[in-house]
Amino acid sequence: MRIIIEENYNDMSKWSANYIASTIKIANPTEEKPFVIGLPTGSSPLGVYKELIKLYKEGYVSFKNVVTFNMDEYVGLDESNEQSYHYFMWTNFFNHIDIKKENVNILNGMASDLEKECSSYESKISSYGGIDLFLGGVGVDGHIAFNEPFSSLNSLTRIKTLTTDTKIVNSRFFENDINKVPSTALTVGVKTITSAKCVVLLVNGHNKASAFANGVEGGISHSCTLSALQLHSKSIIVVDEAACGQLKVDTYRYFKDIEKDNILPISQL
Ligand code: GLP
């Protein structure tokens, strides 16, 4: 596991966007062999999306041959609902880049057969030969996508009941009314994420410090699904100083030292 410690949220976002854009460029995707990326919603990736849009507008990267799979979607919200993850993705990212509509995949929380929706999603991912890079965030309890504590580390895409804690945190998008937050969501599983060739997670802010320390220094446990990344051969956590608040001093120093030459955004762009 690599941990890139950046000074603040802006620097984290720049580093991650540059990493993603250069990985796409190096892959040199074509229509026949597209680059497949997994994407999150939430506050954490907003800065990365802004930077990627900028890199696209400056001509450094194209999404023409990129296929996307989003991590999750609430059950019961249609695409036009402003709190749906469909709406979030089109508003904050897809509408501003050259992605083809048919290359965008987001779970349909309105599907009449939700189980079929989930198994078809997995099959579609497999049909592309898996995900090249999965970008994600982390919940305050250490969940990735909507894989709440005690989700199986072998889980695939499925329906998941949200914990009260997650509903409280997400109620900020629902007029601070927890009763308006859907109780279930469709989500890729922990294994869907860890099966990607590369995983990049964004962790920022004091409120994530405990989950972050737990996930990287604690043992691998379903109580903190972030910890599953410890078994991944190519995972990178991009983090700000605030989120490092509960790391052991030695862990913090180790990553600061070992990555000291790598914290500037990739310069070949
Ligand atoms: C939700 C999403 C996760 C996301 C998490 C953190 O639970 N399902 O994918 O990582 O929130 O969100 P934020 O980035 O807003 O802190």
Rounded to an integer, what distance in angstroms lies between the CA atom of residue 229 and that of residue 160?
A: 20
Q: What is the pLDDT of residue 267?
A: 64
Q: How far is the CA of 72 from the centre of ligand 1 (A)?
A: 10
Q: Which residues are near ligand 1 (CB < 6 Å)?
A: 40, 42-44, 71-72, 136-139, 145-146, 166
Provide CB contacts within 8 A for 41, sequence distance 6+: 70, 71, 72, 85, 88, 89
| Mean pLDDT of the region 198-212 | 98
Residue 265: pLDDT band by 50, 70, 90 thresholds? confident
Of 136, 174, 131, residue with least CA distance to 27: 131
3-state class (DSSP) for residue 185: strand
Going by CA atoms, what residue is nearest to atom 6 of ligand 1?
Answer: 139
How many Å apart are CA 105 and CA 140, to the nearest integer? 26
CB 81 within 8 A of CB 117: no
Q: How far apart are CA 205 and CA 41, in angstroms?
A: 17
Residue 117 predicted with pLDDT over 90: yes
Mean of pLDDT values over 35-49: 97
Predicted local distance difference test score (pLDDT) of residue 149:
95
Q: How far is the CA of 170 from the centre of ligand 1 (A)?
A: 8
Percentage of the chain exceeding pLDDT 70: 99
Q: How confident is the model at residue 212 (pLDDT cuts 50, 70, 90)?
A: very high
Q: Number of helices and strands (H, E) in the chain?
A: 8, 10
Which residue reads 């500037």 in tokens?
A: 264
Residues with active-site annotation: 72, 141, 143, 148
> What's the pLDDT tens digit per position in 141-176?
999 999 999 999 999 999 999 999 999 999 999 999
Mean per-residue pLDDT, 219-240? 98
Give the model confidence (pLDDT) of 249-263 as tens digits. 999 999 999 999 999
Q: What is the mean pLDDT of residues 22-49?
A: 97
DSSP 196-244: SSEEEEEE-SGGGHHHHHHHHHS--BTTBGGGGGGG-SSEEEEEEGGGG
Q: Residues of the chain with pLDDT > 90: what percent?
A: 97
Q: Which residues of 98-137 are buried (b: 16+ CB within 10 A; e: fewer)?
A: ebeeebbbbbbbbeeebeebbebbbeebeeeeebbbbbbb
pLDDT per position as a tens digit, 1-12: 999 999 999 999
- Give the per-residue pLDDT at 214: 98
Check residues 53 and 264 and name the one with the higher pLDDT. 53
DSSP secondary structure code for residue 171 in this structure: G
63-110: per-residue pLDDT in tens?
Answer: 999 999 999 999 999 999 999 999 999 999 999 999 999 999 999 999
Q: What is the mean pLDDT of the chain?
A: 96
Q: What's the length of the chain?
A: 269
Here the tokens at position 260 are 């000291």
Which pLDDT belongs to residue 24? 97
The Cα–Cα gap between 212 and 216 comes to 6
Interval 264-268 mean pLDDT: 74
Distances (CA, A) of 104 to 19, 98, 113, 249: 21, 11, 20, 42
Say if strands 158-161 and 184-187 run parallel, antiparallel, or are unpaired.
antiparallel
Q: Rounded mean pLDDT of 113-123? A: 98
Is the Cβ–Cβ distance between 18 and 265 less than 8 Å? Answer: yes
pLDDT at 34: 98
Res. 269 pLDDT band, cuts 50 70 90: low
pTM for the model stands at: 0.96
Q: How far does the centroid of ligand 1 lie from the alpha carbon of residue 233, in Å?
A: 23
Q: What's the pLDDT at 268?
A: 52
Q: What are phi and psi of 265, to 5 degrees?
A: -55, 145
